[in-house]
Amino acid sequence: MTIRKLALVAIPAVLAAVGTLSTRVVAQVAGPVVVTKDGPVRGLFANGVNAYLGIPYAAPPVGDLRWRPPAPPAPHGLIDATQFANTCPQVTELGSFAGPSSTNEDCLYLNVFTTGTGGRPKPVLVWIHGGGNFDGETNDYDGSKLATGGPLGTPIVVITVNYRMGLFGFLSESDLNAEGHPFANYGILDQQAALRWVRANVAAFGGDPNNVTLGGQSAGAIDTAANVMSPAAAGLFQRAIFQSSPIPNQYFLTEAAAVTLGNNFAAAAGCSDAACLRALSTARILQLQGTPNANGPFVAASAAIVDGTIVPVLPETAWVTGAYQHMPMLGGRLRTTGAAISGWALPSISPVRHRLR
């Protein structure tokens, strides 16, 4: 597949390459050490590409940090960044995006694929994995071939990101919401923390912090739209890819609907305050989230939440009123979106005919 210049936002080739990424990175020799703002990392070198896997971009969201905005990562010594890090908690294993079930909340890590620091700073692609915002993982994406640019393209820096999902990442509950911090869209906040990490560190990997494209497929496209609409993400990226698109209202929950689900979850867990919720075991939360075959009643598949702050309005309102970050955007549609997820019914989508403002 030919890869065109991402700097010119010839995205279809990029998407095609992303869609054919292999699922393993094979080490040949140790890669060079890169010093990030938080500390040094050593990756691996294979087929002309340096891969740095499992770099922390935020503190582990555990204990009192569960259901809070991501905190900065701690300074660290040399990290052996040669293996993918933990997959975020998930239980429902449907479709091609499904990762193995996981109960490890220490999962806010990203991966960097780059040909190095030589030449001009490279365009950057930050990719959000799909999976309905309840499953999936970065381990499914080897960005090595895409990073080379292909035979006719331009080398880029590819970054893939793990983020909180399901009840850990998209939960609006009255007691948590009353704590005074941004709430509900914790997974979107994770992605924004990763974008801030990219802005601070990607130059050390050969990337251009002022030429960042954010994109994703399936739930990753929905989350990309949420970030395009989010004032908190302003200036963190300059282009966007929605694959599939358009992004209609059906893929977003109103705050009223979301808080009903969240309060029902708390009641089912036997909790009447935030401390009780944070004391729940990961396994218990996943038990309430669903089964390997289906989501439970407290999870809305794919849905980001219109909380009024992180995501201020429904997407169709944003598109017609201009209440979003204006930038070059490309939308496509995967022909088999949802088809691989047996038993998971996608919501019916009425055509979105609005003209962007």
What's the sign of the alpha-carbon dihedral 31, 35, 37, 38? positive
Residue type for 184, please?
Answer: A
What does the alpha-carbon distance between residue 132 and residue 100 come to, in Å, rounded to a whole number? 15
Rounded average pLDDT over 38-67 = 97
CA distances from 354 to 315, 329, 350 (A): 11, 15, 12
Tell whether the model's pLDDT for residue 38 goes beyond 90: yes
Domain segments of the chain as ranges = 6-332
pLDDT in tens, 138-163: 998 899 999 999 888 899 999 999 99
Other residues' Cβ atoms within 10 Å of the Cβ of residue 326: 9
Which residue from 136, 305, 331, 304 is spatially nearest to 222, judged by alpha carbons?
A: 304
Tell whether the model's pLDDT for residue 351 goes beyond 90: no
Rounded CA Rg of the chain: 19
Confidence of residue 345 (pLDDT cuts 50, 70, 90): very low
pTM listed for this prediction: 0.88
pLDDT in tens, 301-333: 888 999 999 999 999 999 999 999 999 999 887
């094979």: which residue's tokens?
A: 26
Residue 13, pLDDT score? 42
């999976």: which residue's tokens?
A: 131
CATH number of 6-332: 3.40.50.1820
What is the phi/psi pair of residue 238, to 5°? -115, -10
pLDDT in tens, 9-29: 334 444 434 433 433 444 457
Most distant CA pair in the chain, distance: 59
Rounded average pLDDT over 193-218 = 97
* Rounded percentage of the chain residues whose pLDDT exceeds 90: 75
Taking a C-beta distance cutoff of 8 angstroms, is the pair 145, 112 a contact?
no
